[in-house]
Structure 1
Amino acid sequence: MTVDFDAPGNVVKRPSSLAHVFLRTNKFQEMVDFYKKFTGGEARFESSKISFICFDEEHHRIAVAAIPGTTDKMQTSAGLEHIAFSYPTLEDLALAYRQRKQLGMTPTWSVNHGITTSIYYEDPDGNRLETQVDNFDDNDIATEFMMSPEFRTNPIGTDFDPEDLVKRLQSGESEASIKKREETGARGLPAQMK
């Protein structure tokens, strides 16, 4: 045996990944339909009370369950602020935006955080969802940006119009140019987070 369970140390072993999110709801079918459309995924198992939805190689990434006694979400209560889904390129992020728009799913907020370019949505229960692309190819450089005076002054970011993002991509502007955050100085929490 190579692991000493009797002297485990005082730092917890890090997980290898975040596996899935489990959502309780009182709008079961509406939530299941939404997440299938939102992710382009399918249910790996589904009954009238629970659905395990996947959009990649994992057996499930999102579980939705109708749990008796569940009440409507209160946006101002403590809890999870949002779930984030990553895309490899700005083109993929913009295409997914246009596809969702065609399905009647419109963003609630679009912002260049500096470390990511992000488009936010809400599901039928009011849970917030972030779709994003990393603005840096290297996590160390992203961390350096997070330690910069610009990020310290404005950790929220600069809003943008997703249609403008599409136009910039269509014009042939480089992803690097589009990903560079326009510095606007300090800002408070946006209305979408209040």
Structure 2
Amino acid sequence: MADTNVLRPNSLAHVVFRTPNIKPMVEFWTTFLGAERVFGDDFIAFLRYDEEHHRVAIINEQGTLPKGQPTAGLHHVSFSYSSLGGLLQAWQKRESLGIKPTWCINHGPTTSIYYKDPDGNGIETQVDNYDTVEEANEFMTGKYFRENPIGTDFDPINLLARLDNGEDERAMKIRSEIGARTGVPAGV
């Protein structure tokens, strides 16, 4: 039998969005990520927020139709934070800038806050709830995840207050179990 294992990439390099509305998209993504514009003109923009030369690119493609529902395609892109405190600090700053989440959920393996950009593309910000991949995999192959692979909604105001009151971050990331749940809410 032939070897069918493809050499795995080291990381995800970047995401590119096509839009007829480049200015609001560039403004949103620059603000959302706290990014800097490496390059930008009326046709294309390259944004970076870490050591990579660009993580997000936005192309002005006139004639692009608005995102329709339901259509097949990318559901969302996700960005990780190293701590629950970091995730909530970013949420709080986005709130103060008028960027509101569409959904806040503890999936089990991650605690996640979702958003939409001006074109309706989904964005997830998340923190890993387990210290190792093995621990996350154990949860994902267990009874509770099989019963509810979606997760349990949470209020970020409440979570931030608990964190500010000194509650242990690791304990706060343990998902509250609510029983069976399937499907993602509309608009997420």
TM range (shorter): over 0.9
Pair 1:120 & 2:114 matched: yes
Flag structure 2 segments of 5+ consecutive residues without an equivalent. Answer: none
2:167 to 162, 173, 190: 173
Task: Give the Å deviation of 1:10.
Answer: 2.1
Show CA shifts across 1:77-124 (max 9, x none): 000011000000011001000000010001000000000000000000
Superposed counterparts of 1:14-33, under 5 Å: 14-33=8-27
Shift of 1:193: 5.6
TM-score normalised by the chain length of structure 1: 0.93
Provide the alpha-carbon RMSD of the alignment. 1.2
Per the alignment, in what secondary structure is the counterpart of residue 45 of structure 1? Answer: strand
Q: Is the 8 A contact 1:93 1:132 kept in 2?
A: yes
What is the total number of aligned residue pairs between the two structures?
A: 187
Is residue 90 from structure 1 mapped to residue 91 from structure 2 by the alignment? no
Give the whole-Å Cα distance in 1 for the aligned partners of 2:182 and 2:3: 41
Q: Is 1:182 paired with 2:176?
A: yes
- SS at 1:182 equivalent: coil
Aligned partner letter, 2:38:
R
| 1:25-174 equivalences in 2 (<5 Å) | 25-174=19-168
Q: Is this contact kept in 2: 1:109–1:192, CA < 8 A? A: no
Q: Which runs of 4+ in 1 moved over 4 A?
A: none
Question: Does the 8 A contact of 2:149 with 2:182 survive in 1?
Answer: no
Three-state SS of the structure 2 residue aligned to 1:191 is: coil
* Alpha-carbon distance in structure 2 between the residues aligned to 1:174 and 1:192: 33
Percent of aligned pairs with the same amino acid: 50
What amino acid does structure 2 have at the position aligned with 1:135? Answer: N
Verify the 8 A CA contact 1:52 1:63 in the aligned structure 2. Answer: yes
Q: CA deviation at 1:49?
A: 1.0
Cα deviations by residue, 1:135-180 (Å, 9 ceiling, x for unpaired) = 0000111001000010000000000011111111011100111101
Contact 2:110 2:126 in 1 (8 A): yes
How far, CA to CA, are the matches of 1:26 and 1:165 in structure 2?
Answer: 37
Structure 2 length as normaliser, TM-score?
A: 0.96
**Secondary structure of the structure 2 residue equivalent to 1:121:** strand
Whole-angstrom CA distance in 2 between matches of 1:9 and 1:136:
33
State the secondary structure of the residue aligned to 2:130: coil
User: Rg larger in 1 or in 2?
Assistant: 1
2:67 partner amino acid: K
Is the 1:108–1:192 Cα contact (8 Å) retained in structure 2? no
